[in-house]
Structure 1
Amino acid sequence: MLLKHLLLIIFIVGCWAFNAVAIKMGVTELPPLFMTLLRFMVVAILVVPFTRIQRKHLPVLCYLAFTFGFMHFSLLFLGMTYTDAGTAAIIVQLGTPMAMLLAATLLKERLSLLQSGGIVISLAGMFILTGSPTLASGRGVVILLTSALGWALTTVKVKSVTDLDPVTMAGWMSLIAIPLVGLTSFLFESNQLPALKHISWKGVFAVLYSAVICSIIAYSLWYALLKKYPANQIIPFSLLSPVFAVVMGAIFMGDSLNFWKVSGALTIVGGALIAIQAGKKTHDSLQPSTARQ
């Protein structure tokens, strides 16, 4: 992997990590599904008027609107109301081993024994995390795990989409997701307009950061890199995001750094490093020598 691409991945992971902090700031002022709706509206307004799609793209965009728009983002915002930013970010990273397994199954990407070991270690980190007092709600765990599955399904699907620009994809996916998320917010939430009327700069910042930095910039760069490298070589890097999120949550939100949270995060990083190194070796062994020059 080129150094500039490696640095780009670290930047993306950092953006995702702080997004957990931003979301936590936002859901303290806005109903979570309503905040998700505002996020998608911002993305759609900034992207859709300047991009075009073909009718053949509608099925995959509708699929992504559900898996990425509703399953991942809506449930991430909702799950954030049950725990702190760092813990939520760690749970959602189960999407990484989920995506690696889906890539191996559906895309026939080779998953080595060492990579499998890294996945197992990362899963062990999740079990360690369950001992944290910040993870007291079973409902929150289920919501965040479903969000993780939505991320995994989206990541694997995007790998097969070769004729749609990532920014265009994000904008139109957001537009299509608006009715579903809006209806869900209308049915299950209340006081959306009063909350919007009394929103502070923190709520505004949270919506704009999640929409512009996280969605338009970070995710567009992420899916562009997925088109350059095998999914199982890129995906493990995302496991570093919860560690950054734990640190950022402690710095910006005053979140606790208890033994279970820190141990779980470090175990996940250990598994990520093993999987990353194994993925690199597997990829290199399958390429002709000229491909690495």
Structure 2
Amino acid sequence: MRPAHIALAVVVTAVWGVNFVIIEVGLGHFPPLLLSALRFLVAAVPAVFLVGRPKVAWKWIMGVGLALGVAKFGLLFIGMDQGMPAGLSSLVLQIQAVFTALIAAAFLHERPGRTRIAGMAVALGGIAVAAVDRGASAPLTGFTLVLAAALCWGVSNVLTRRAAPPDALNFMIWVSVVPVLPLLALSFLFEGPGEIENALRGLDPGGIGTVLYLAWGATVFGFGAWGYLLRRYPASSVAPFSLLVPFFGMSSAALLLGERITPLGWLSAALLVGGIAVISLSRSAAPDTPAPAPAAPATPPPPEPSASRTPSSAMSAR
């Protein structure tokens, strides 16, 4: 990769990592489901009128929009609202690489191979250590919700692989349209019109800034730049950069939010990132098939689904 493109990949992963700190700040201004709805609304409008017609079937846009936009981000935002720290969230979400590989094996018949299975075992060990570390200091509700968000991310990755979008940015913009109304309806039902009204009445520059960062920074810029890199280089060259997302997430949370990383937290990070690196850089036993550009994040974005020569961690969280 050219030095300028390496720098761009690092910038994107930094944007996706800091994204978790921005979510934490945004949750001080909005209830979680409303914040997620606003993120996708601002990402989709007016961009949806500028990118042209969708280039894949509507069933894939709807499927990824519901799995990624409603389920993954809804659960992530609620989990963080329930006390899951931003830095730990950026780390735990990376277990989606394991979920992606397992779901692809079950539904796409992609055999992971011994090396990749070993990487999954190491990564799952990291999650176990993180659960023990988190359980020692706080209830596991938020941790469990973020883990469920990672599972939904894995589902969306496999759906994205089946969709095989030729244009990652076009696909992501249209996917962003889907979650808006379901998330607003869920917010109205569970958070209540009173809380929604209070959040919108109290809208200030800080709240507006968080929504703009999540929508235009993490989503439009992040996915657009990542898709650009994936069109110029093999996924195996681009995807490993996504392993920087938890580094930027945990370091920015420590620096900006004062989150303390325990020794068990560092051990968890080492096991999880190491396991995912093995998953990403190894080849599955499935026949070679082309893989699409990823659709994500989050809050950091979803990685490439597990496939031959297609790393599982192509899109972090973003």
**Range of TM-score over shorter length:** 0.7 to 0.9
Which amino acid letter does the alignment assign opposite residue 251 of structure 2? V
Percentage identity across paired residues of the two chains: 27
Q: 1:199 maps to what in 2?
A: 203
**Does the C-alpha gap of structure 1 residues 54 and 21 become closer, same or farther in structure 2, counting only changes over 3 Å?**
closer
Question: Does structure 1 retain, via aligned residues, the 8 Å contact 2:123–2:276?
Answer: yes
Give CA deviations for 1:95-153 in whole Å, capped at 9, x if unaligned: 11111333344445553322221221111111111122476233222321221112111
Q: Deviations over 1:186-210 (max 9, x none)?
A: 0011312222222343322221111
Q: Which runs of 5+ in 2 are unaligned?
A: 289-307, 310-318
Gap change, CA 1:122 and 1:111, over 3 Å in 2: same
TM-score by length of 2: 0.78
Partner SS, residue 30 of structure 1 = coil
Q: Say which SS state the counterpart of residue 133 (structure 2) adopts.
A: coil
**Mapping of residues 68-87 of structure 1, within 5 Å:** 68-81=68-81, 82-87=83-88
Q: Does the 8 Å contact 1:22/1:205 carry over to 2?
A: no
Q: Map 1:55-94 onto structure 2 (within 5 A).
A: 57-81=57-81, 82-94=83-95
1:147-166 to 2 correspondences below 5 Å: 147-166=149-168
SS at match of 1:218: helix
**Partner residue in 1 for 2:271:** 267
What does 1:1-293 align with in structure 2 at a 5 Å threshold? Answer: 8-53=8-53, 57-81=57-81, 82-109=83-110, 111-133=112-134, 136-190=138-192, 191-222=195-226, 237-279=241-283
* Greater percentage in helix: 1
Structure-2 separation of matches of 1:154 and 1:224 = 20
> Which stretch of structure 1 is more off in the superposition, 201-210 or 109-118?
109-118
Distance 1:9 1:156 in 2: 23
Cα distance in structure 2, aligned partners of 1:254 and 1:137: 20
User: Distance between the aligned counterparts of 2:240 and 2:111, measured in 1?
Assistant: 14
| Mapped partners of 2:232, 2:102: distance in 1 | 19
TM (norm. structure 1) is: 0.84
Q: Which AA in structure 2 matches 1:32?
A: P
Consecutive unaligned residues of structure 1, counting only runs of 5 or more, are 288-293
